[in-house]
Chain A
Amino acid sequence: MSEAVERLLNLALYLADAREPVTAARIHTEVAGYPADQDEAAFLRMFERDKEQLRGAGFIITGDESGAYTLDRSRTFAAPIDLTAEEAAAVRAASTAMLADPSFPYPDELRLALAKISSGVDTDALPAAARLADEDPSRQGAIVAELSSAALRGKRLTCAYTNSYGRSAPHQLEPYGLFLHDGRWYLVGRDTALDEVRTYTVARIEDLSVDGSRPATRDFERPEGFDVRRFVRLPFQYGAPEAEFVAELRFDSASAWRAVALSDGQGEISETNDGEAFWRVKAFSESRLARFVLENGPGIRIISPESATTVLREGLEEVVRLHG
């Protein structure tokens, strides 16, 4: 094993040191670790694998028409990282928390990233923790790593999925993207049998298998302009399409600062000169909208539609009747 590591490091250093493009033949001769008696075809296969490994470690290696290779130094070596103490602490806190969280899908890659940028980031221990997903986090983290890789590479997959009624069925999916919401990971993808884009709860996915027959070839292309963020929903945005309406909420001046956080990027927020904020947002359930307003209040009012304000008022009157 150490021979392979030694050869890779020698190749990395050789390319970093070379001041002009170098051919594969020169590399075969001048980099220690490639057997001198190796035939050309075997050497080229080994060299190709090594190049890919170095690229996977951050080396930008380009080839020209004559078959010579160059290391792009300006992109291979990082620029100086200039962070304030607060920023460095924030990076450290976020990273420490994710490394402690079994549902974070890329712990090994994150460790390597931190090792590379550690001169720009305070490495002192900082107490931080996370539970991005709270149901079987290790399993969710492993599945998300596989699903996100398939999504980025455009690879189709098969799995068993148990729906909310407890029924399990096989599915073939084209994974488009993943998002985290309220302690759960979700997959957005096209079900090839139904020809529909749906959202799946990752914790309910089993027997996942990604088509590995042609790893370098994409099995599908996502719809143009796809953005997984459009699939993230607030609690009042679940419902039948025909129930959709636009609600307008008002945040009083003491609560207006929370509008952006509560909106989670949904809808449009405008602020008035007297410090109030107005939020126009798509909704599907009047009672859920009322609950959202009450749970996050005081200081938030439903302005429209009138039917939602009626649901809220009548509900509150019932609360008073029960507890008065």
Chain B
Amino acid sequence: MARPNSSDSARRLIALLGQLTPGMSVPVKGLAESLGTTEAQLADDLGTLCVCGIAPYGPDQMLDVFVEDGMLEVYTALPAVRGPISLSPSEAQALAAALAAAGFSARDPLARRLLDAAASSFDGEALEQTLRTTIATHESTVFEILAAAALGREAVSISYQSEGTAEPSDRIIEPQQLFAERGAWYVAAWCRTADGIRTFRVDRVRKATATGEHFDRVTVVERDAAPTAFAPEGLPVARLRFAAVEAFVSRDWPGGHVVSAEEDGTTIADVPFSGTEWIARRVTGRLGRVEALAPVHVRDAVATAARAELG
């Protein structure tokens, strides 16, 4: 177990300081979890907090907080503390990096307003010149609506452009979980239109509108496994032949594996796919260096996609 560190304890207490208001009563356990420490450690830290104050250290100058039965109780206003403490440069950097990862750059109104209020001296643009955590560009308002819907269990109407389709389709979904993987954000949802669980890439959602209708169904978040857009279990498999000049790279074909390496340098591989259009597009993009051997409908889809592109 890591040795308690006075600097860490002080920073945790300072982070909490501005949030403590008279009459507040909150479980220490929840606070400890949100701060990434143990309940015992935070209770110990809070024990220190209640003996802190300002000279002459009379009752009116002390922090009137107490831990009892696992609850943090705040009795009176704290001396000298008039609100939340601003973010330190490293805290602002962490928050900006997290927001950028979700598509909220330093120029986005949300990131700008939040960081201007919480860390007025922080230069988000300068950080982005050094550290780029953005993993996909999508409409930030779409992300906001999906996040709020997942939190409030509210059905959302989306206009979604699936891979390989020319026009978006309209669907009603019950967003259950947002996750980022391999350079894109996804929303796992119950799709009322498809009557099943579906995973949608957020950057392919052209428009999202909250319906105001709440749902109770929880279908995705109870799964034990971490969410993934590339789960191969139960998917159909396409058999592909890779020309000698086109190496099979497993990262490019999630869940795929080599079946055989032929003497002429070609490679036969099996690749799971969830959508025929998806695999057809990927094979077509190899410009003849990958051939779909089976199933027939994938071969046909590849030929159709190529003919359509040729016009």
Task: Decide yes or no: A113 and B91 within 8 Å by CB, A13-B52, A98-B101, A319-B284 being known contacts.
Answer: yes
Task: Decide yes or no: A2 and B48 within 8 Å by CB, A77-B82, A94-B98 being known contacts.
Answer: yes
Partner of B81, one of A13, A104, A130, A260: A13
Partner of A58, one of B88, B136, B161, B285: B88
How far apart sit A30 and B113, CA to CA, in the bound complex (Å)?
A: 38
Q: Does B262 contact A (CB under 8 A)?
A: no
Shortest Cβ gap from B93 to chain A (Å): 7
Q: Which residues of B contact A123 (CB under 8 A)?
A: 34
Give the residue name and chain of the A residue nearest to B30 (CB).
A123
A75/B121 in contact, CB under 8 A: yes
Task: Decide yes or no: A98 and B288 within 8 Å by CB, A79-B117, A324-B303 being known contacts.
Answer: no
Which residue of A84, A109, A181 has the most chain B CB atoms within 10 A of its CB atom?
A: A109
How far apart sit A9 and B15, CA to CA, in the bound complex (Å)?
A: 11
B130/A126 in contact, CB under 8 A: no
A93/B143 in contact, CB under 8 A: yes
Q: Does A321 contact B (CB under 8 A)?
A: yes
B145/A109 in contact, CB under 8 A: no
Identify which of residues 74-132 in chain B touch chain A, using a CB-to-CB cut-off of 8 Å: 79-88, 90-95, 97-99, 101-102, 104, 110, 113-114, 116-121, 128-132
Q: Does A159 contact B (CB under 8 A)?
A: no
Q: Does B144 contact A (CB under 8 A)?
A: yes
Q: Does B167 contact A (CB under 8 A)?
A: yes
A122/B15 in contact, CB under 8 A: no
Q: Does B236 contact A (CB under 8 A)?
A: no
Partner of A130, one of B180, B286, B303: B180
Shortest Cβ gap from A8 to chain B (Å): 4
Identify which of residues 172-204 in chain B touch chain A, using a CB-to-CB cut-off of 8 Å: 176-183, 203-204
Q: Does A221 contact B (CB under 8 A)?
A: no
Partner of B179, one of A8, A128, A134, A254: A128
Shortest Cβ gap from B196 to chain A (Å): 18
Interface residues contributed by chain A, number (CB under 8 Å) = 124
Q: Does B137 contact A (CB under 8 A)?
A: yes
Interface residues contributed by chain B, number (CB under 8 Å) = 124
A9/B110 in contact, CB under 8 A: no
Q: Which residues of A contact B91 (CB under 8 A)?
A: 58, 109-110, 112-113, 116
Partner of A128, one of B93, B134, B177, B306: B177
Q: Which residues of B contact A166 (CB under 8 A)?
A: none
How far apart sit A132 and B134, CA to CA, in the bound complex (Å)?
A: 10
Identify which of residues 189-239 in chain A touch chain B, using a CB-to-CB cut-off of 8 Å: 226-229, 232
A56/B90 in contact, CB under 8 A: yes
B117/A78 in contact, CB under 8 A: yes
Task: Decide yes or no: A77 and B18 within 8 Å by CB, A180-B132, A258-B161 being known contacts.
Answer: yes
Q: Does B255 contact A (CB under 8 A)?
A: no
Q: Does B292 contact A (CB under 8 A)?
A: yes
Partner of B6, one of A4, A131, A261: A4
Q: Does B247 contact A (CB under 8 A)?
A: no
Shortest Cβ gap from A98 to chain B (Å): 4
B104/A116 in contact, CB under 8 A: no
Identify which of residues 1-45 in chain A touch chain B, using a CB-to-CB cut-off of 8 Å: 1-2, 4-6, 8-10, 12-14, 16-17, 30-32
Q: Which residues of A contact B220 (CB under 8 A)?
A: 127
How far apart sit A287 and B287, CA to CA, in the bound complex (Å)?
A: 8
Task: Decide yes or no: A94 and B99 within 8 Å by CB, A14-B55, A75-B86 being known contacts.
Answer: yes
Q: Does B206 contact A (CB under 8 A)?
A: yes
A178/B131 in contact, CB under 8 A: yes
Partner of B309, one of A13, A117, A297: A297
Q: Does A86 contact B (CB under 8 A)?
A: yes
B306/A320 in contact, CB under 8 A: yes
Q: Does A63 contact B (CB under 8 A)?
A: no
Task: Decide yes or no: A321 and B288 within 8 Å by CB, A83-B114, A113-B91 being known contacts.
Answer: yes
Which residue of B49, B102, B300 has the most chain A CB atoms within 10 A of its CB atom?
A: B102
How far apart sit A1 and B183, CA to CA, in the bound complex (Å)?
A: 43
How far apart sit A112 and B152, CA to CA, in the bound complex (Å)?
A: 25
A2/B180 in contact, CB under 8 A: no
B178/A128 in contact, CB under 8 A: yes
Q: Which residues of A contact B148 (CB under 8 A)?
A: 85-86, 89-90
Q: Does A139 contact B (CB under 8 A)?
A: no
B94/A110 in contact, CB under 8 A: yes
How far apart sit A318 and B134, CA to CA, in the bound complex (Å)?
A: 37
Q: Does A243 contact B (CB under 8 A)?
A: no
Q: Does A65 contact B (CB under 8 A)?
A: no
What are 23 A-B contacts with C-beta separation under 8 Å? A9-B17, A58-B14, A58-B86, A77-B82, A78-B87, A79-B118, A82-B117, A90-B110, A90-B148, A93-B143, A93-B178, A94-B101, A97-B179, A101-B180, A108-B36, A120-B117, A129-B180, A131-B180, A177-B129, A265-B137, A291-B287, A294-B305, A318-B287
With A59-B85, A86-B141, A229-B129 given, can you name 12 additional A-B contacts, CB distance below 8 Å?
A1-B6, A12-B14, A55-B88, A56-B7, A56-B88, A83-B114, A89-B147, A116-B118, A129-B178, A228-B129, A265-B137, A317-B310
B binding-site residues for A, Cβ under 8 Å: 4-19, 34-36, 44-45, 47-49, 51-55, 57, 63, 79-88, 90-95, 97-99, 101-102, 104, 110, 113-114, 116-121, 128-138, 140-141, 143-145, 147-148, 150-152, 161, 164-168, 176-183, 203-204, 206, 220-221, 226-227, 281-288, 291-292, 299-300, 302-303, 305-310
A binding-site residues for B, Cβ under 8 Å: 1-2, 4-6, 8-10, 12-14, 16-17, 30-32, 53-60, 73, 75-87, 89-95, 97-98, 101, 104-120, 122-124, 126-132, 134, 148, 151-152, 176-183, 226-229, 232, 254-255, 257-258, 260-261, 263-265, 287, 290-292, 294-295, 297-299, 311-324
